[in-house]
């Protein structure tokens, strides 16, 4: 049990009246952190124990649950809120200072693996508690700004200088309705969280934190490979993975297909000076970069062919002649060799996918990618990552991991309590 029991004043029995404290108690009681606390206490040995590891850990979790942007604001609340002090386990004893908290954060940095183990353990429980959990996933990334403005020239990190962050740059471009081109450039000096989430329950399943310049595609491939080695059950349960065009990669799509996962990924415009390509094996069939296939009854007239499903045995997507599909009159239908065609996915894995582009199913699945965007939005709003300023990759991993872990803890508690209709609203902030 994560919370230190208190009977003072009897207010611990009036959960409905406690508001934020009630939510904190739920998180602390549900959090499977005994192994972490035992490890910290063992590391401390027979040293001074002015501030117990359990109480200090509970306070760190409280900072996440209450959405404090800084440790200083959390300590101010601790000093004015006697109930918070009792829930954490300090009682009427001396309260920790900024220096004490900094030392404890430094200790937690050494226990990243155990914190990640807690995260993964909660995920495993959700696979058992929630039907269809993990079957449809979405992936995206989010920048987290560093407290520094530029990288330090020091080679060895000292906790005060920034030696891990890098500058990331994103460029967006497109064509306006009037035909003019536009381009937008954004940058961030800091870190990036790469998040894989359940697209239906809007809950995190896996995450990695890197510097802000790390490629989304490169990191996503590393995450898939790591999950295959260490958490194969995640990939085995997954049916579809959704992502925006930043993840458009032939290698990534092929990797997912090899694990029997359907890639539903938006496509970048990469053809230069070419509008159509001939479908191999069909003289009168052509396709464009959007994945539309056309048949030519004559070289001056073309008609869009109708998607006709995916043929798994042949690894090919099928298209049907519009005359056959809709009964449209066509003078060349008798001699046409394109009534029904199959296009192997290997023709162009970016364009031809197991879920055919442009179909209702593709559009329905692609919309679900916004689940991970909403989790990123909660990190900014509810967990105050818009205001948080951290130095060092270790601290970024710790704070992001704790925020995502808190989302899972609340979801586990609600799933155990069979209150699924409130799950999404409660994970917004603990």
DSSP string over 205-267? EEEEEEETTS-HHHHHHHHHHHHHHH-HHHHHH--EEEE-GGG--HHHHHHHHHTT-EEEE--
Q: If residue 84 lies in a helix (H) or strand (E), which one and from where to where?
A: helix 82-88
- The DSSP 8-state label assigned to residue 298 in this structure reads E
Of 42, 77, 110, the domain-final residue: 110
The pTM is what?
A: 0.86
The answer as to whether 40 is a domain residue is: yes
User: 337-358 burial, b if ≥16 CB within 10 A, otherwise e?
Assistant: ebeebbbebeeebbbbbbbbbe
d(CA 260, CA 114): 31
pLDDT at 300: 58
pLDDT at 5: 43
Going 204 to 196 to 143 to 226, the CA torsion angle's sign is: positive
d(CA 97, CA 76): 10
* One domain, residues 323 and 377: no
Any alpha helices (H) in 299-392, and if so which ranges? 322-326, 360-367, 370-381
The answer as to whether 348 is a domain residue is: yes
* One domain, residues 234 and 142: yes
Of 95, 110, 125, the domain-final residue: 110
* One domain, residues 45 and 141: no
Of 44-48, 273-277, 418-422, least confident by mean pLDDT is: 418-422
* One domain, residues 189 and 332: no
Asked whether the predicted pLDDT for residue 252 surpasses 90, the reply is: yes
* One domain, residues 238 and 386: yes
d(CA 75, CA 59): 9
Which among 263-267, 269-273, 382-386, 387-391 has the top mean pLDDT?
A: 263-267
* One domain, residues 373 and 349: no
> When comparing pLDDT for 71 and 424, which is higher?
71
Tokens of 43: 């590391």
Q: What is the pLDDT of residues 141-172, one digit of tens each?
A: 999 999 888 888 776 666 677 888 999 998 87
78, burial (CB in 10 Å: exposed 0-12, middle 13-18, buried 19+):
buried
Q: What's the structural domain count of the chain? A: 3
User: 409-418 burial, b if ≥16 CB within 10 A, otherwise e?
Assistant: bbbbbbbeee
* One domain, residues 238 and 139: yes
* One domain, residues 214 and 172: yes
The answer as to whether 84 is a domain residue is: yes
Asked whether the predicted pLDDT for residue 201 surpasses 80, the reply is: yes
* One domain, residues 240 and 140: yes
Q: Which residues are within 8 A (CB) of 354 and not within 5 positions of it... i.e. 6 or more apart?
A: 257, 262, 263, 310, 312, 317, 345
For the chain, what is the radius of gyration of the CA atoms?
27
* One domain, residues 82 and 168: no
Q: Domain range spanning residue 390?
A: 133-244+369-400
Going 242 to 248 to 249 to 253, the CA torsion angle's sign is: positive
Of 354, 389, 413, the domain-final residue: 354
The answer as to whether 307 is a domain residue is: yes
* One domain, residues 345 and 379: no
The answer as to whether 336 is a domain residue is: yes
Backbone angles phi, psi at 141, to 5 degrees: -130, 165
Q: What is the pLDDT of residues 24-69, one digit of tens each?
A: 999 999 999 999 999 999 988 766 678 899 999 999 999 999 999 8
* One domain, residues 348 and 373: no
The answer as to whether 126 is a domain residue is: no
The answer as to whether 423 is a domain residue is: no
């Amino acid at each position: 049990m994560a919370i230190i029991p208190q009977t003072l004043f009897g207010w611990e029995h009036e959960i409905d009246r406690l508001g934020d404290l009630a939510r904190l108690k739920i998180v602390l009681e549900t959090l499977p952190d005994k192994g972490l606390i035992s490890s910290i206490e063992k590391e401390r040995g027979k040293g001074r124990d002015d501030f117990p590891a359990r109480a200090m850990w509970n306070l760190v979790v409280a900072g996440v649950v209450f959405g404090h942007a800084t440790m200083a604001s959390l300590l101010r609340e601790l000093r004015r809120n006697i109930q918070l002090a009792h829930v954490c386990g300090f009682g009427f004893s001396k309260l920790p200072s900024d220096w004490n908290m900094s030392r404890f954060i430094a200790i937690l940095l050494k226990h990243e693996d155990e914190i990640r183990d807690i995260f993964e353990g909660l995920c495993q429980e959700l696979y058992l508690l929630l039907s269809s959990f993990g079957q449809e996933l979405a992936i995206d990334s989010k920048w987290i700004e560093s407290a520094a403005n530029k990288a330090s020239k020091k080679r060895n990190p000292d906790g005060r200088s920034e030696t891990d962050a890098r500058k990331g740059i994103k460029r967006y471009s497109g064509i306006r309705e009037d035909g003019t081109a536009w381009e937008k450039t954004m940058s961030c000096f800091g870190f990036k969280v790469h998040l894989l989430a359940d697209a239906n329950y809007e809950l995190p399943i896996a995450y990695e934190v890197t510097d802000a310049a790390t490629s989304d595609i490169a990191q996503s491939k590393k995450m898939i490979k790591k999950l295959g080695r260490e958490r194969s059950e995640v990939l085995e349960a997954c049916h579809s993975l959704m992502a925006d065009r930043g993840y458009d990669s032939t290698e990534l799509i092929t990797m997912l297909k090899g694990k029997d996962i359907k890639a539903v990924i938006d496509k970048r415009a990469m053809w230069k000076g070419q509008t159509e390509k001939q479908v191999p094996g069909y003289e009168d069939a052509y396709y464009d970069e959007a994945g539309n296939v056309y048949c030519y009854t004559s070289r001056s007239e073309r008609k869009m062919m109708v998607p006709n499903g995916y043929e798994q045995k042949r690894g090919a997507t099928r298209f049907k002649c519009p005359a056959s599909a809709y009964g449209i009159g066509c003078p060349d239908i008798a001699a046409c060799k394109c009534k029904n065609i199959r296009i192997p996915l290997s023709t162009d894995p970016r364009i031809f996918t197991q879920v055919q582009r442009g179909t209702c199913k593709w559009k329905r699945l692609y919309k679900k990618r916004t689940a991970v965007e909403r989790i990123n939005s909660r990190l900014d709003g509810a967990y105050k990552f818009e205001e948080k300023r951290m130095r060092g990759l270790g601290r970024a991993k710790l704070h992001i991991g704790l925020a995502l872990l808190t989302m899972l803890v609340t979801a586990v508690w609600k799933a155990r309590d069979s209150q699924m209709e409130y799950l999404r609203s409660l994970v917004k902030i603990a």
